Chain A
Amino acid sequence: MSAQISQDLRASGIARVIVILKTTIVEKDVRKIRSDLEKHFVSSKLSQATALATSSMYKGVSTAPAVRYYPNLGIMMGTVNSEGLSALRTQKDVVADISGAPPISLIRPTQARTAKLTQKIAWGIAALEVPAIWEQGYTGKGVLVGHLDTGVDGSHPALKDAISDFAEFNGMGWEVKPSPKPYDSDEHGTHTAAIIAGRAIRGKAIGVAPGALLASAIVIEGGEVIARVLGGMDWAVGKGIQILNMSLGFRGWWQDFLPLTRLLRQRNILPVFAVGNEGPGTSRSPGNYWQALSVGACDRKYNVADFSSSQRFKRKKDPIAPDIVAPGVDIISACPKNRYRLMDGTSMATPHISGLAALLWEAKPNATVNQIERAIFDSCRIEKGMDIERAGRGIPNAPRALAALLKSSA
């Protein structure tokens, strides 16, 4: 069995697999063979319900297994549990091979839309009721947030005063010298950075913590190289960050960032990680560790976004990823070249929470990472229509989180 399938089955009871059909199958038999094989797949959402053993919660859920057939490739891709996998293995007449779903997920077309700043306060900030905390004088001032992404456009008016430190790392994790001026190798990093700490432009607010500073590094451009991310992480920790925002992660369960995530907490740094954009029954590491504060995405009606990943794990502590959800649909933020764009994703939801944590840490500078996290969790509410399997604890609320934190310090 592939290592990826084993890992996924152990972690969540289900695994994404590719079933390669034998090339000797003739066209007229394909429909029946597909129909026979589909029985062995499970719906990713139902498999969560099975794990929960609370099937009554899922009466309305379709039982149709989510299997996709790729006729030009002669493969089927879907989710199986152990029994389904065993059954598929017995179909030796028609199945040539079974492998883990490709570790490299396709980059879906980015349809970020150019936008103009029209709202006085971006909807995501309003949804968290952040302005109520601003009115008390908290803007994240004095808090340094680590931001590991595609970089940040330091010339953008919303960000030029928000960047404390900037670095770029090569494939062996060495800082590129001389240090470049803050730039974005893409536009993702500028967008997420401005959600955390973007300054208001002409009175229009896009950043949750407009007084916070960023230690931002380019770590995910030009190949998937672990040392690049670790180089950035090491550098950011050395700069004295209190929060680490990473809108990145490996698809599935990947335990290798676990010791580092633990270490961040030991250093009193809050790891705020995106859970992924692959929908129910999926998640990304390190966002799916219980040691991380993982964030899914919701829209302005508080519905969990269809794309937002969620997964239940076989562990007692914090079995559901994400921990919470935050605004992640139609999020306006900065883009390079002095532009603004609307983007969707858990990458956009995550910096809302990093910004909120910055506000809280300004309010209580000697708070522990556990106190900050607990205050955010305690402020969460499951809104009408939210499924806890998809939303975790629900959506946080800034004034409630501040009150919870100040109470905990009493």
Chain B
Amino acid sequence: MSKRQARVKTDPELIKQLDQTASNEDLVEAVFTLRLSTKQLLAPMQVEEVTQKVLHRVSQQVGIDAKEVNIFRNIGAFVISAPPSFIRELLSEPEIASAIANQQPKQIRIPTAK
């Protein structure tokens, strides 16, 4: 992992899924949050612009595109479905704050106690 990658908080589950997906024929779904200023919030259009810029840069670097992208403009995050090499490269981009596997084995629903 490069020094730049080390700055990104990466979900162990995403690492596992990337490691298990050897071929670029297969896709991994991951959710990324943008590195946001604590003082100034990005407007939804700025979130869109920053995301598109990063994705375009990564596409050029790895020579492939993400299969699907959904940008969450109001909360500074996006989800992509992409080959593992694309996601690994995205992890090293400075605009990225954290990365999470979209498909989680954990249960998010809190079971009703009674």
Contacts and interface: CB of A to CB of B under 8 A. Distances in A.
A263 B114 contact: no
Contacts, number: 154
Given A234-B75, A237-B74, A343 B106 contact: no
Interface stretch (B18-26, B51-59, B96-104): B96-104
A250 interface: yes
B10 to A, nearest CB: 9
A329 B112 CA distance: 11
B112 A188 contact: yes
Contact of B103 (A224, A248, A250, A260): A224
A107 B114 CA distance: 11
Interface stretch (A48-56, A170-178, A310-318, A354-362): A170-178
Q: How large is the interface on B (under 10, 10 to 19, 20 to 34, 35 or more residues)?
A: 35 or more
Interface in B79-114: 79, 81, 97-98, 100-114
Contacts of B72: 173, 230-231, 233-234
A230 B75 contact: yes
Nearest to B75: A234
B75 A237 contact: yes
Contacts of B79: 172-173, 226-227, 230
B29 A227 contact: yes
A32 interface: no
Given A104-B105, A248-B108, A260-B77, A227 B114 contact: no
Contacts of B110: 247-249, 274, 276-277, 284, 345-347
Interface stretch (A203-211, A251-259, A374-382): A251-259
B114 A112 contact: yes
A225 interface: yes
Contact of A249 (B74, B100, B108): B108
A224 B103 CA distance: 6
Contacts of B73: 234, 238
Contacts of B98: 255-256, 258-259
A229 interface: yes
B106 A107 contact: no
Given A234-B73, A234-B75, A260-B77, A224 B106 contact: yes
Contacts of B97: 259
A226 B76 CA distance: 14
B82 to A, nearest CB: 12
A344 interface: yes
A170 B107 CA distance: 17
B104 A224 contact: yes
A368 B69 CA distance: 34
Given A172-B79, A225-B102, A256-B9, A343 B70 contact: no
Interface string A361-377: 00000000000000000
A263 B75 contact: yes
Interface in A271-313: 274, 276-277, 284, 297, 305, 307
A103 interface: yes
A93 B100 CA distance: 38
Interface residues of A, number: 63
B112 A248 contact: no
Nearest to A4: B12
Given A172-B68, A226-B101, A251-B107, A344 B114 contact: yes
Nearest to B104: A224
A75 to B, nearest CB: 18
A267 interface: yes
A72 interface: no
Nearest to A105: B107
Given A173-B70, A226-B104, A250-B104, A345 B41 contact: no
Interface of A: 3-4, 103-108, 110-113, 150, 171-174, 188, 220, 223-227, 229-231, 233-235, 237-238, 247-251, 254-256, 258-260, 262-264, 266-267, 274, 276-277, 284, 297, 305, 307, 328-329, 342-347
10 contacts: A108-B113, A172-B79, A188-B109, A233-B74, A233-B75, A237-B75, A255-B9, A266-B41, A328-B113, A345-B114
Given A225-B103, A231-B70, 18 more contacts: A105-B111, A108-B112, A110-B114, A172-B70, A172-B81, A172-B102, A224-B106, A226-B101, A230-B31, A234-B74, A238-B73, A256-B9, A256-B98, A260-B75, A274-B110, A328-B113, A329-B114, A344-B112
